[in-house]
């Protein structure tokens, strides 16, 4: 098991990892991409609907088409790709990192990397994680599982479906289930407004006369063997169930689209600093984590609403990892970004002010706002300002900051959103 | 004929009212011309791109993701699904390859969106 | 009128339960009549307990209460008709499976009948996996002696059967300083009871041992003999070793009655035909009273006591090493109140709660029980937050009103042995109970024939590779021999296709998605099967020569998929 040595190893060949490996290769680093599934592309493989790529490619692509463009480039560049390969252990070494992996062909083997990009994506929140009660019948699935069953395996999980959560995946699955012959009885959303894009409300629900119930949630599942029905219940302004408003809806399938959680389990042993608000690592504008040489991108960094931004962060992380591996490393001078006002979270969480150039900042509003203003300042001096006609928490905002404007010696940079 | 719509051309989400008066189509509530043409289209002939899958004869790739190369009338989606559900793909196709020349009586072809040659 | 009957009547009057008519039957007391509520039903049962009768049979009617529901497998057939066994065991929980394994030490034809689709489906997969030290059970009770013996047996049994057993110890913390005054008494009691190694801990000593323990603690005791197991793994291990040594396990097989001749059971009526048995063992869990009734030997009643349990993400598993508990005085006397324990898989587990429920197979969770669980146990470890919970479930304990195990040959039926009323610490006691029940059974058989040892008996279960337990070199070796072990299917628990296939073809085959989960933990991690369920369905289907559409989650009615899409394209 003598380890093969690479400048950069990218973990995960979804859109973030594909973009990272391409960027690292472009920057002149030797790159290797590790994927646990049989094919690259990540979750895009099962996102057969369109709407991807408007920002990055200027046209509307389906998920597989979007992935295809990057996969072709990875292949064209001769980037080494391990598929059906599972990371067993990640450790520090003198020169960087050592990865222990397994697959069917090579059994157990090691890779050494000077720099690492963790592009491990996210997982779905489950029924129990949103505290739905009852027994545990068959027929309760997360939206991603339903998507995989229908689009990859070719099975309809049920015929009469209730969907909890109006996020885009939930809406897309409402249409998909309907087109494949299932009846979608309704989409229930605990919040007073839908979480998904208006476009999806129109084209996935209204086109098919699927009702959307706001301020309503599922509190209980019924049935022991197969799901027989769910209890739906209206909620108050604090999203607590209103007693007496319970209603029984007979159905054989409950589809949950109740949130995504960045997956960073492989980083735990290294003690990487995690931001509790995003669930991903704390990073600077290079997407460098608290662990030197380790970079994060995509939905593992924070849950994105557009794959185009996942790719963009992959490109940044890949290029940064290559620079680090090729020896262009100076100790950073980090200044924290303080998110104030109506900001849910902002990424990156700090800036390396020893670098010039531009920094891309992403943020989400904590609630729906109209005529909002974002002000970036340091030491009382305004560095940038942007006005928004409307802001919604599901939609991520992106701004570019000219780092040369940051005055030397500032303790922090303030990002403030006023409603 | 009249219809209430939420405009999806940009994130502002204008609430549109569109109706026909004789030959004329009237749109209200839009803040830009894109909203007006969207409303007109939605009233007279709403069209959608259909994305779905087609069965293949390859056990390692049982379903091929496909889409219509352009938009087809909203009202024809279920007829198109019925037609597409009877297809069987016998070759390993790549994105852009035509699966069906004309979907459901339109002149819009159905094309593959995934690469079946990849392994 | 007998003195004890008078005291039952007096006690019932004290609670105002005037609608209850107590009647003596054999050496038990039977309660008949009507009460207003389920709470009164329970109160009456306990009012009649502890008065010197062998058991309390509670036949009180509660108007308006939903009738008792029991799951019965849908199949009817004759697969077992006319078959003849030396011993038939009713119930595939940890007790039934352990008894089956102990009986295979003898040269006997043994069959275990389980109405569910797998072993360990009811209470044996729905408890906290605690191997209690034996301090809580009343001195002189069966619970006490079996617990002490069973606990000591676990080290050897876990080695023979190859299941994980961690003797992690427990720290019982005190909420008020003055409780410490009782500790010398507790230490003497522990010594007298045979509980090994009790240590008294100061507040600082508790913090040193468990740095994340709650700030509310004011010292406590450490019980080093406390351990934890995965109860379903223990049950499966016993069942598999029993099958390896010649026993038969028949799933989806429900006992519907007995055919009696005089004081003997001659036929066991099932949904798969009538089979013959020389001895019958009643290990039927929450339904053990019904089984006893089939032989006109229902001298006790079972009632359900539900416990809700929550599982904490593995990422926090290392924040605690021993079981943590903080008893609340005056709260629910029928349980030690659960706690917060490590699991053998590296998660933490909260619970269980305890509430008497009319339905014995009601494993639903409720928001109220969940709140109670979180408020009582989550704060025992300062690092835990509600969002760290990855799943929760409930189980139902099989309680008698006398609150003790019933481990004995029937007084009235010549060839029936009861292993009933098994609740906490039933799992801890299981190895010892199984030894005794097997001995009682052999004793009965010896009355009519010679019973020889089984010369081929092997106490060591054959194990297939478990990657998590192997060194990297061993892992590589296993993968080279069988590449299916190279392919990880469950990413959260890191379970390979090879391990899943082995479970499907194990001595007690895993034919459902949940059965695979109980054997190899695929789908039990933080994504709760979100990623691996489609792959699991395909593997189970392939290995059992079925369509994925016919694979169930568990019981026969629990199909996971409705239909194949684009069936028309198949012939196109």
Beta bridge partners of A111: A4, A99
Judged by phi (left if over 0) then psi (alpha if -120 to 50, else beta), residue C419 lies in beta
C90 has a pLDDT exceeding 60? yes
Please spell the DSSP secondary structure of C344-407, one letter per residue: TTS-EEEE---EEES-TT---B-HHHHHHHHHHHGGGBTT--GGGEEEEEEEEEEE-TT-S-EE
Contact of C56 with C300, CB cutoff 8 Å: yes
In whole angstroms, how large is the CA radius of gyration of chain B?
A: 19
> C132 catalytic, yes or no?
yes
CA distance A118 to chain B (A): 23
What CA–CA distance (Å, rounded) separates A366 from A343? 5
Structural domain boundaries of chain C? Answer: 3-58, 84-123+240-302+403-445, 128-231+304-395, 467-563
Closest to C229 measured CA to CA, from C362, C98, C364, C90: C98
Say yes or no for a CB contact (<8 Å) between A50 and B12: no
A159 inside 8 A of chain C by CB: yes
In Å, how far is B24's CA from the nearest CA of chain A? 25
SS3 A282: coil
Whether A145 sits inside 8 A of C529 (CB atoms) is yes
A16-53 residues labelled b (16+ CB within 10 A) or e (exposed): bbbbbbbbbbebebbbbbbbbbebbbbbbbbbbbbbbb
**Distance, CA of C377 to CA of C371 (rounded, Å):** 10
The reported pLDDT for the residue numbered B111 is 98
Secondary structure of C144-204 in HEC code, one letter for each residue: HHHHHHHHHHHHHHHHHHCCCEECCCEEEECCCHHHHHHHHHHHHHHHHHCCCCCEEECHH
Q: Which of A50, A198, A203 sits opposite B67 (nearest CB)?
A: A50
Give Cα separations from A35 to A82, A120, A378, B95 (angstroms): 6, 9, 41, 22
C551 contacts chain A (CB < 8 A) = no
Compute CA distances A383 → A350, C449, C453, whole Å: 15, 96, 88
Cβ pair C60, C32 in contact under 8 A? yes
Which residue, among C569, C570, C571, would best test binding to B if mutated, counting the most B CBs under 10 Å from its CB? Answer: C569
C169 near C131, Cβ under 8 Å?
no
User: Which residues of chain A are within 8 Å of residue C392 when distances are taken between CB atoms?
Assistant: 128
User: Encoding tokens for residue A137?
Assistant: 């019948």
Looking only at the bridges linking them, the beta strands covering C273-282 and C416-420 are parallel
Residue in this structure with the two tokens 């013996």, named with its chain if needed: C149
Beta strands C406-409 and C389-399, pairing class: unpaired
For A364, the 3-state DSSP assignment is: strand
| Closest chain C residue by Cα to residue B55 | C569
CA atoms of B113 and A208, how far apart (whole Å): 24
A residues 183-212 closer than 8 Å to C (CB): none
Distance of CA A181 to the CA centre of its chain: 30
Name the token pair of C222: 């450490």
Residue closest to C342 by CA, chosen among C367, C366, C325: C325
Residue C41 phi, psi (nearest 5) = -55, -50
Chain B residues in contact with chain A using a Cβ-Cβ cutoff of 8 Å: 5-6, 8, 11-13, 46, 48-53, 55, 62-63, 65, 67, 74, 77-78, 81, 95, 113-115, 118-119
Kindly state the tokens that stand for C61: 């009617």
- The 10s digit of each residue's pLDDT in C199-237 is 999 999 999 999 999 999 999 999 999 999 999 999 999
SS3 category, C540: helix
Mean pLDDT over C196-200 rounds to 93
Q: How many CB atoms neighbour CB C420 within 10 A?
A: 27
Say if residue C335's pLDDT is above 60: no
Q: Which residues pair with C248 in a beta bridge?
A: C111
Residues in A closer than 8 angstroms to B46, CB to CB, are: 207
Torsion sign across C-alpha atoms C492, C496, C502, C504: positive
CATH label, C467-563, candidates 1.10.10, 1.10.3470, 3.40.50, 1.10.8: 1.10.10
Percent of chain C with pLDDT over 90: 92
Cα separation, A365 vs A391, in Å, equals 6
Average pLDDT over residues C299-321: 95
Chain-chain contact of C571 with B88 (C-beta, under 8 angstroms): yes
- Tell me what pLDDT residue C569 has: 73
CA dist., res. C129 & res. C120, Å (int): 12
- Separation CA C183–CA C201 (nearest Å): 10
Compare C278 and A329 and report the one with higher pLDDT: C278
Mean pLDDT of C150-159: 98
* Residues of chain A below pLDDT 70: 1-3
Give the one of C315, C484, C487 whose C-beta lies nearest to A268's C-beta. C315
Determine how β-strand A122-124 pairs with β-strand A31-34.
Answer: unpaired
- Provide the Cα torsion B57, B59, B65, B66; round to 10°: -10
d(CA A63, CA A70): 11
B55·C572 Cβ contact <8 A: yes
Nearest CA in chain C to B81: C566
Task: Tell the CATH topology of B51-112.
Answer: CPE0013-like fold (3.10.530)
The predicted complex's ipTM stands at: 0.95
More confident residue, B10 or C326: C326
Token output for C198: 């009790």
Residue spans in chain B of domains classed CATH 3.10.530.10: 51-112
pLDDT at residue number C570: 66
pLDDT digits (tens, 9 = 90+) for C366-410: 989 999 899 889 999 999 999 899 899 999 999 999 999 999 999
Supply the pLDDT for residue C238: 98
Report the pLDDT value the prediction gives residue B8, as an integer from 0 to 100.
82
Instruction: Record the tokens describing residue B90, joined without a space.
Output: 């016998």
CA distance A184 to A209: 9
Report the alpha-carbon distance of residue C500 to residue C489 in Å, rounded: 9
The position carrying tokens 């009948």 is: C113
C-alpha C501/C-alpha C515 separation (Å) is: 12
Q: What are phi and psi of A100, to 5 degrees?
A: -105, 125
Contact C254, C73 (CB under 8 A): yes
Q: Which structure tokens are listed for A269? A: 């042993």
Report whether CATH 3.30.750.24 matches the domain C84-123+240-302+403-445. no
Q: What is the enclosing helix (H) or strand (E) of A370?
A: strand A369-378
Q: Do C572 and B88 touch (CB under 8 A)?
A: yes
pLDDT at C52 over 80: yes
Supply angle C-alpha A167, A170, A176, rounded to 5.
140
Q: Sorting pLDDT into bands at 50, 70 and 90, what band is B11?
A: low
| Confidence label for C571 from pLDDT (cuts 50, 70 and 90) | low
H or E segment to which residue C278 belongs: strand C273-282
Nearest-CA residue of chain A relative to B12?
A390
Chain C residues with CB under 8 Å of B54 CB are 566, 569
CATH number assigned to the domain covering C128-231+304-395: 3.30.9.10
CB A234 within 8 A of CB A242: yes
Give me Rg for the CA atoms of chain C. Answer: 24
Q: What is the pTM of this model?
A: 0.95
Tally A–B CB contacts below 8 A.
76
Helices C513-520/C231-244 angle, 10° precision? 100
Architecture in CATH for domain C3-58: 2-Layer Sandwich (3.30)
Q: For strand A294-296 and strand A107-118, is the pairing parallel, antiparallel, or unpaired? A: parallel
Number of alpha helices (DSSP H) and beta strands (DSSP E) in chain B = 2, 10
d(CA C389, CA C349): 9
Coil, strand or helix: which one is A33? strand
Specify the pLDDT at position C328. Answer: 77
- Axis crossing angle, helix A168-179 with helix B77-84, rounded to the nearest 10: 70
State the pLDDT at residue B117: 93
Cβ burial C104-114 (10 Å sphere, 16+ → b, else e): bebebbbbbbb
Token pair belonging to B99:
């699966």
Kindly report the number of other CB atoms within 10 A of residue C507's CB atom.
Answer: 16
Cβ atoms B63, A151 nearer than 8 A: yes
CA proximity to C132, closest of C434, C435, C429: C429
Token representation of residue C298: 């229902």
Contacts of B63 in chain C (CB under 8 A): 566
Q: What are the pLDDT digits (tens) for C541-565?
A: 999 999 999 999 999 999 999 999 9
Position A197 scores a pLDDT of 84
| pLDDT, average across residues B61-83 | 96
Nearest CB among C488, C526, C556 relative to A36 is that of C488
pLDDT digits (tens, 9 = 90+) for B37-50: 899 999 889 999 99
Q: Which residues of B29-45 are buried (b: 16+ CB within 10 A; e: fewer)?
A: bbeeeebbebbbebbee
Tell how strand A369-378 and strand A381-391 pair up. antiparallel
pLDDT tens, residue by residue, C55-87 = 999 999 999 999 999 999 998 999 999 999 999
Contacts of C152 (CB under 8 A, 6+ apart): C196, C225
| Tokens describing residue A153 | 């395996």
């Amino acid at each position: 098991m003598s380890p093969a040595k690479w400048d950069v190893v990218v973990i995960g060949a979804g859109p973030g990892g594909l973009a990272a490996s391409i960027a690292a290769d472009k920057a002149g680093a030797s790159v290797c991409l590790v994927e646990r599934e049989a094919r690259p592309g990540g979750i895009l493989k099962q996102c057969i609907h369109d709407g991807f790529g408007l920002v990055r490619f200027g046209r509307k692509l389906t998920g597989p088409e979007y992935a295809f463009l990057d996969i072709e480039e990875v292949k064209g560049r001769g980037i080494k790709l391990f598929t059906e390969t599972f990371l067993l252990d990640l450790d520090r070494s003198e020169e960087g990192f050592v990865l222990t992996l397994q697959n069917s062909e090579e059994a157990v083997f090691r890779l050494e990397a000077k720099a690492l990009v963790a592009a491990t994506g996210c997982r779905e929140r489950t029924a129990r994680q949103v505290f739905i009660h009852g027994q545990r019948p068959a027929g309760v699935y997360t939206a991603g599982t339903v998507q995989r069953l229908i689009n990859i395996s070719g099975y309809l999980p049920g015929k009469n479906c209730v969907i909890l959560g109006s996020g885009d995946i939930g809406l897309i699955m409402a249409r998909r289930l309907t087109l494949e012959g299932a009846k979608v009885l309704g989409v229930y959303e605990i919040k007073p407004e839908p979480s998904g894009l208006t476009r999806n409300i129109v084209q996935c629900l209204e086109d098919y006369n699927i009702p959307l119930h706001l301020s309503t949630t599922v509190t209980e599942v019924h049935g022991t063997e197969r799901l027989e029905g769910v209890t739906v219940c209206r909620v108050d302004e604090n999203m607590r169930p209103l007693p007496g408003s319970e209603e029984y809806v007979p159905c054989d399938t409950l589809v949950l689209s109740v949130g995504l959680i960045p997956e960073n389990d492989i980083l735990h042993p290294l003690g990487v600093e995690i931001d509790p608000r995003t669930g991903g690592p704390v990073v600077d504008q290079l997407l460098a984590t608290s662990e030197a040489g380790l970079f994060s991108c995509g939905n593992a960094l924070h849950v994105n609403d557009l794959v185009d931004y996942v790719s963009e962060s992959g490109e940044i992380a890949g290029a940064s990892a290559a620079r680090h591996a090729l020896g262009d490393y100076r100790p950073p001078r980090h200044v924290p970004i303080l998110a104030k006002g109506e900001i849910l979270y902002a990424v990156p969480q700090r800036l390396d002010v020893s670098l010039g150039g531009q920094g891309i900042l992403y943020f989400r509003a904590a609630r729906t706002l109209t005529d909002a203003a974002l002000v970036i300042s340091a030491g009382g001096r305004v560095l940038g300002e942007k006005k928004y006609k409307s802001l919604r928490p599901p939609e991520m905002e992106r701004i570019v900051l000219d780092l040369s404007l940051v005055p030397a010696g500032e303790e922090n940079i303030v990002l403030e959103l006023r409603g | 004929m009249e219809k209430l719509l939420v405009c999806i051309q940009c994130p502002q989400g204008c609430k549109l009212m569109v109706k026909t008066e004789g030959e004329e189509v009237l749109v209200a509530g839009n803040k830009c011309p894109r909203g007006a043409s969207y409303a007109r289209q939605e009233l007279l002939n709403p069209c959608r791109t259909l994305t779905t899958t087609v069965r293949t004869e390859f056990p390692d790739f049982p379903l091929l993701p496909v889409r219509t190369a352009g938009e087809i009338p909203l009202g024809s989606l279920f007829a198109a699904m019925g037609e597409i559900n009877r297809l069987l793909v016998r070759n390993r196709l790549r994105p852009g390859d035509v699966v069906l020349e004309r979907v459901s009586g339109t002149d819009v072809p159905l094309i593959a969106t995934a690469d079946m040659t990849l392994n | 009128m007998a003195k004890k009957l008078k005291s039952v009547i007096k006690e019932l009057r004290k609670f105002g339960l005037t609608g209850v008519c107590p009647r003596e039957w054999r050496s038990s007391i039977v309660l008949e009549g009507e009460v207003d509520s389920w709470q009164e039903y329970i109160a009456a049962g306990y009012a009649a307990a502890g008065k010197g009768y062998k058991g309390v049979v509670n036949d009180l009617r509660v108007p308006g209460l939903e009738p008792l529901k029991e799951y019965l497998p849908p199949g009817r057939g004759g697969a077992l008709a006319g078959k003849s066994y030396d011993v038939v065991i009713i119930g595939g929980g940890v007790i039934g499976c352990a008894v089956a394994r102990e009986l295979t030490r003898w040269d006997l034809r043994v069959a275990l009948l389980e109405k569910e689709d797998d072993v360990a489906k009811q209470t044996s997969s729905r408890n906290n996996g605690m191997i209690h030290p034996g301090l809580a059970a009343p001195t002189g009770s069966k619970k006490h002696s079996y617990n002490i013996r069973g606990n000591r047996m676990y080290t050897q049994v876990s080695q023979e059967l190859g299941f994980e057993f961690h003797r992690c110890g427990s720290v019982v913390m005190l909420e008020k300083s003055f409780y410490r005054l009782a500790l010398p008494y507790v230490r003497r009691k522990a010594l007298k009871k045979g509980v090994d190694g009790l240590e008294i801990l100061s507040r600082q000593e508790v913090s040193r041992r468990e740095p994340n323990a709650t700030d509310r603690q004011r010292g406590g005791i450490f019980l080093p003999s406390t351990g934890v197991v995965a109860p379903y793994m223990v049950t499966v291990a016993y069942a598999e070793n029993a099958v390896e040594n010649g026993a038969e396990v028949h799933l989806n097989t429900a006992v519907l009655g007995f055919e009696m001749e005089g004081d003997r059971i001659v036929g066991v009526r099932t949904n798969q035909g009538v089979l013959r048995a020389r001895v019958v063992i009643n290990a039927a869990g929450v339904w053990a009273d019904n089984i006893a009734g089939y032989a006109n030997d229902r001298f006790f009643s079972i009632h359900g006591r539900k416990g809700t349990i929550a599982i904490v993400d593995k990422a926090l598993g290392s924040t605690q090493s021993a079981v943590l508990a903080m008893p609340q005085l005056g709260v629910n006397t029928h349980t030690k109140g659960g706690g917060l324990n490590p699991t053998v898989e590296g998660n933490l587990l909260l619970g269980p709660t305890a509430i008497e429920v009319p339905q014995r197979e009601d494993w639903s969770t409720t928001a109220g029980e969940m709140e109670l669980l979180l408020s009582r146990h989550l704060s025992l470890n300062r690092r835990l937050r509600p969002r760290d919970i990855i799943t929760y479930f409930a189980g139902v304990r099989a309680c008698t009103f006398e609150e003790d195990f019933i481990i004995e040959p029937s007084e009235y039926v010549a060839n029936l042995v009861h292993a009933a009323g098994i609740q906490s610490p039933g799992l801890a006691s299981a190895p010892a109970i199984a030894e005794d029940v097997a001995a009682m059974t052999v004793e009965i058989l010896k009355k009519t024939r010679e019973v020889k040892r089984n010369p081929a008996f092997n106490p060591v279960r054959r194990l297939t590779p478990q990657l998590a337990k192997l060194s990297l070199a061993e892992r590589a070796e296993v993968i080279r021999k069988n590449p299916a072990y190279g392919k990880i299917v469950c990413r959260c628990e890191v379970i390979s296709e090879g391990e899943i296939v082995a479970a499907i073809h194990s001595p007690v085959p895993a034919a459902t998605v949940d059965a695979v989960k109980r054997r190899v933990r695929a789908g039990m991690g933080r994504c709760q099967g979100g990623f691996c369920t489609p792959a699991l369905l395909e593997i189970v289907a392939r290995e059992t020569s079925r369509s994925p559409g016919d694979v169930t989650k568990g019981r026969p009615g629990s199909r996971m998929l409705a239909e194949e899409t684009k069936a028309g394209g198949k012939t196109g």
